[in-house]
Structure 1
């Protein structure tokens, strides 16, 4: 039986078309696999980014709450910032929407934390600058401000400070932050430390045994400035504490008990 050349050519063309189609299918499958792989990688990256943002947000949130508690602020105070709205073009994509929300929350928490840290710095500076507390770490109040019998002459004399007695060598501490303007011997006071706190306030710590600061030193509240002693015009181990306001000695007692 004879087969025409036209039939043979037709079969060959069909085979060629099938092979071409198969090749295209194979290429398409490769493209699909590559796309799936890329999508998986991107998805993993997005999920990892979401997890990282969530962790950072929780960390900032906890730190913010801790600082707010120290400042006596409530959770409502932390929500004073109004978050910006999420762009409309991200609303339809759940993953991108979630990332946008987390990035927004992270930015918000960062702003809140920055505000709280600023408040803490201001609060700390204010507390440091306020005269309050005793000029000793241990000991007792032994003599008040005002008229009393002079311990050397027995005659009435003005006592322009408070005396705190204690053990020799105990720490004498600054009652507020400031700059040391005197550190050395002065008549009557013995070994004296004088600190300028600004706003017209100066404090003096007299009759010390040794001094632990020098003129020009910047001191913080509660910092030891001397060791208690019995130098100068003194009848026993104690520190003579004065508060000077605008050049005049005033009763230190209200500042000692100031909260």
Structure 2
């Protein structure tokens, strides 16, 4: 099959005969164009799928980062609580150890106020993981608590009769003043509702001396919610006393105080309606009625 074309020119008509190859050329071009269109269209679809996949991956990675950040913050908070717990226990152990050393004339052999000297050559090992660090801190906290118990036993064994007399809690935490609120249920002066008052209040003139009712170690000397400026003394054998709402504090954390020693001045800091001392006695960590200690006969 062939196609004949006649082209009219100045010199007359020209005859051109087209064979099958010329007829197949448009068909071939159309096929090429259609193939190119489908190829480009498929590439566009593939690129769009790739973009969407990458977008989903980025979103998933973002969510993983947020989750990791939250987990890290939770672990840091746990780490902070562990450190606070160990610091509190160490403070008590150091204060108690200092008292035992001083009362038994061992100050030159034991110094609880300075860092312990450690050192030596060691090889560089693997980095410590946070989970392992937390576990080590738990173990250390438990060791501190055990040492604290051991020191208490040691204190009981080595303390002589004279010190026992000094630690004997008795008398009032003030030299001048009067009982203004007893231990037990009362009408709360702020809310007007019935509430448990876990101490005894002694009112007086602001600035009057507040004294320790027994010798011991100062385990708190600072402000605390509700109590205002508070002094807490550990007398050993599970007994502690608290003196709240002070105008000023005369002792420091870890100090060894004697019976009758001035530890603060009367004030009205914290949750208070006027100058007074809120006096508490704690046995094994629980508040008990201080009245029997206030009015017991001194040794």
The question of 1:256 aligning with 2:258 is answered no
Which 5+ residue runs of structure 1 have no aligned equivalent? Answer: 1-120
The question of 1:193 aligning with 2:231 is answered yes
Task: Provide the C-alpha distance between the structure 1 equivalents of 2:267 and 2:219, rounded to a whole number of angstroms.
Answer: 20
Partner of 2:253: 215
SS at match of 1:203: strand
After TM superposition, list the pairs within 5 Å mapping 1:126-205 onto structure 2.
Answer: 126-205=164-243
After TM superposition, list the pairs within 5 Å mapping 1:18-57 onto structure 2.
Answer: none
| Aligned alpha-carbon RMSD (Å) | 1.2
Task: Kindly provide the CA deviation profile for residues 142-188 of structure 1, in whole angstroms up to 9, marking residues without a partner as x.
Answer: 10000000000100000000000000000000000000000000000
Give the superposition deviation at 1:125: 2.0
Task: Kindly provide the CA deviation profile for residues 189-215 of structure 1, in whole angstroms up to 9, marking residues without a partner as x.
Answer: 000000000000000000000000000
Moved over 6 A (4+): none
Partner of 1:111: none
The question of 1:246 aligning with 2:292 is answered no
Q: TM-score, normalised by structure 1?
A: 0.53
Q: TM-score, normalised by structure 2?
A: 0.46
The equivalent position to 2:266 in structure 1, one of 228, 236, 246, is 228
Partner of 2:127: none
Partner of 1:98: none
Task: Provide the C-alpha distance between the structure 1 equivalents of 2:164 and 2:221, rounded to a whole number of angstroms.
Answer: 25
Partner of 2:131: none
Give the length in aligned residue pairs. Answer: 139
SS at match of 2:268: coil
SS at match of 1:188: coil
Partner of 2:114: none
Which 5+ residue runs of structure 2 have no aligned equivalent? Answer: 1-158
Task: Provide the C-alpha distance between the structure 2 equivalents of 1:200 and 1:122, rounded to a whole number of angstroms.
Answer: 17
SS at match of 1:126: helix
Task: Provide the C-alpha distance between the structure 1 equivalents of 2:238 and 2:161, rounded to a whole number of angstroms.
Answer: 21
Give the superposition deviation at 1:127: 1.9
Bigger shift: 223-232 or 126-135?
126-135
Structure whose CA Rg is larger: 2
Give the superposition deviation at 1:126: 2.6
Partner of 1:14: none
Task: Provide the C-alpha distance between the structure 2 equivalents of 1:192 and 1:161, rounded to a whole number of angstroms.
Answer: 13
After TM superposition, list the pairs within 5 Å mapping 1:92-131 onto structure 2.
Answer: 124-131=162-169
Task: Provide the C-alpha distance between the structure 2 equivalents of 1:227 and 1:178, rounded to a whole number of angstroms.
Answer: 19
Give the superposition deviation at 1:123: 5.0
Give the superposition deviation at 1:124: 3.3
Task: Provide the C-alpha distance between the structure 2 equivalents of 1:250 and 1:235, rounded to a whole number of angstroms.
Answer: 23
Give the superposition deviation at 1:122: 5.0
